[in-house]
Amino acid sequence: MPLFQRLAIVLGIIVLFSACGDTAVDQAASMPTLPPAPSTPTLEVPTPAPPTATVIPPTATPTPTPLTGALAFARGTIEQRPLAIMFDNHPAAYPQTGMDGAVMVFEALAEYGLTRYMGIFVPGISPDLDEIGAVRSARLYFVQWAMGLSAVFVHAGGSPDSLVLAESATEIVNMDALRRDGESYFYRNSERDPPHNLYTTSAELQRFLAEQDVAVPDLSAQGFLFKPDLPLNERPSSQRLDYYFIYADDPAGWTYDAETNGYFRLRRNKPHVDGLTNEQLWFKNLVLMEVYEAPVPGDDKGRIEQRVIGEGRARFFLDGREQSGHWRKPAAAWPLRFYDTDDAEVLFNVGPVWVVALPDLNNLTVE
């Protein structure tokens, strides 16, 4: 081979490796990053990220607790991929249907003060539902949460960066209702206006998984640790939480019920009910985690970014009592974990967990 050809090949290899750098080590590191919060230090994210979340061992031993029939995301019991479903929270989508069957729900800002939900359903633990929705679009931070769950990520389109990550992340199975390979598993409710009328069912989600022949990864690290409920005679008679994301006159909240040892959800001071059962949403455990958020630079739709990789402050509510601590998610592929002030993993009561991502914990009031 002539000398000039050999030199060209060597030069091409050098350029290729220079372009790649070390970004392939951690897929999350290639996503757009937020500017540091003015009043808080920049979070340091350990690298490299593990190939899957399953390398993370439990950091505490759960108290043996009966789980039969319980709607609990319990570590060691997850045998099928969780379904992470995006729920619309625009007033035109009220009331939503199906979130009362979730083992976990994320509540976070989307844009213009509107929030969005991501319900986590586990086949074999969550009930089979004949109506789930309204299904709505993705945002980057929801995809990052779903990656740590090894979930099937169910959505209808999304922001540009979220679509890139949802399609490229190997930790999740991407199920997009706006793509030809996903649209047949959804239907439109003729009684509602688009885009707030997109629904699916448990049977359709299972059909998708069967037809995609999706492999089940090691899920031994997924889920939380649980403990027995506090005895009734040790529970407080009442407790109420109210919080807002941007506007104080647009609150959400919960009221504690000592008899069931759970929390009933409020939306704008009214019961938040399920659209099919007409029953008020009830969850056993509440987490409010503080995440720094900021507008996406130059985004003409007002979208925001939220820093959900790293760690931050958190407050936990169960048994009618409050605990302080922090959340931690070192990389997108790692599951989200919660810890108390002694850095021990939080033990929840057996039942579903609702997670609120607030831009400021000072937006929370407790009575």
- Give the three-class secondary structure for 21: coil
Among 14-23, 53-62, 70-79, 340-349, the least confident range: 14-23
- Spell out the SS3 assignment of 304-337: EEECCCEEEEEEEEECCEEEEEEEEECCCCCCCE
What's the rounded mean pLDDT across residues 335-363?
97
Q: Judge whether residue 338 has pLDDT over 70.
A: yes
Q: Residue 6: its pLDDT value, please?
A: 42
Nearest in space to 73 (alpha carbons), one of 143, 151, 134: 151
Q: Looking at residue 215, what DSSP letter applies?
A: P
Q: Which CATH superfamily is domain 70-366 in?
A: YerB-like (3.50.90.10)
Q: Judge whether residue 238 has pLDDT over 50.
A: yes
Q: Residue 50: its pLDDT value, please?
A: 36
Beta-sheet strand order (sheet of 115-121): 173-176, 152-155, 83-87, 115-121, 104-109, 353-358, 285-290, 310-318, 321-329, 337-340
What's the rounded mean pLDDT across residues 45-67?
43
What is the residue-averaged pLDDT of the chain?
84
Say what angle helices 160-168 and 140-147 make with each other, to 10 degrees: 20
Nearest in space to 267 (alpha carbons), one of 342, 337, 198, 354: 354
First to last CA, the chain: 80
Q: String of b and e for 14-40 (b: at least 16 CB within 10 Å)? A: eeeeeeeeeeeebbbbebeebeebeee
Q: Residue 213: its pLDDT value, please?
A: 85
Helix (H) or strand (E) holding 19: helix 3-20
Name the token pair of 307.
Answer: 């820093």
What's the rounded mean pLDDT across residues 310-323?
97
What's the rounded mean pLDDT across residues 309-334?
97
Nearest in space to 50 (alpha carbons), one of 307, 327, 331: 331
Nearest in space to 341 (alpha carbons), one of 356, 326, 327: 326
Q: Residue 305: its pLDDT value, please?
A: 85
Q: Residue 176: its pLDDT value, please?
A: 97
Q: Residue 61: its pLDDT value, please?
A: 53
pLDDT digits (tens, 9 = 90+) for 99-153: 999 999 999 999 888 999 999 999 999 999 999 999 999 999 999 999 999 999 9
pLDDT digits (tens, 9 = 90+) for 197-221: 999 999 999 999 999 888 899 999 9
Compute CA distances 251 → 106, 172, 196, 267, 354, whole Å. 16, 33, 22, 7, 16
Helix (H) or strand (E) holding 209: helix 202-212
Phi, psi of 208 (to 5 degrees): -60, -50
Which residue is it, tokens 């885009």?
Answer: 195
Q: Judge whether residue 253 has pLDDT over 50.
A: yes
Among 82-86, 168-172, 216-220, 304-308, the least confident range: 304-308
Answer whether the bond into residue 271 is a cis peptide, omega within 30°.
no
Q: Residue 33: its pLDDT value, please?
A: 39
Angstrom distance (rounded) from CA 44 to CA 309: 9
Strands (E), 26-114: 83-87, 104-109
Angstrom distance (rounded) from CA 294 to CA 39: 13
Q: Where are the domains of the chain?
A: 70-366
Q: Residue 45: its pLDDT value, please?
A: 33
Instruction: Give the residue, 47 or 192, on which the prediction is more confident.
Output: 192
Question: Residues, the chain, total?
Answer: 367
Q: Residue 112: its pLDDT value, please?
A: 84
What's the rounded mean pLDDT across residues 17-33?
35
